[in-house]
Amino acid sequence: MPYYVYAVKPFAQLQKLAEFPIFKEASVHAKSLRASQAARPGERIKVMFADDAQTAEDMLLQVREAPPDGDD
């Protein structure tokens, strides 16, 4: 399964930026994009591991619940 690099923009707009067979390559690419991102506020760079691009996009758009409060 490949690793996908996406730009996640406001209002759940997704832009596929790259696809890599190895996590390390995807991670390095995403980190370099994040470092040069100062000109694009509100945009996040994400790496997703999925069977295909459609599945990666579905996972990016899922609403995740906050974890339960601990006994801190």
The predicted structure's pLDDT at residue 66: 80
Q: Parse the chain into domains and list their residue ranges.
A: 3-61
Mean pLDDT of the region 13-41:
90
The predicted structure's pLDDT at residue 36: 86
CB distance 9 to 24 below 8 Å: no
Contacts of 12 (CB under 8 A, 6+ apart): 61
Structure tokens at 19: 């696809």
3-state secondary structure of 32: helix
56-72 pLDDT tens trace:
999 999 988 888 877 65
pLDDT band for position 50 (50/70/90)?
A: very high
pTM of the model: 0.82
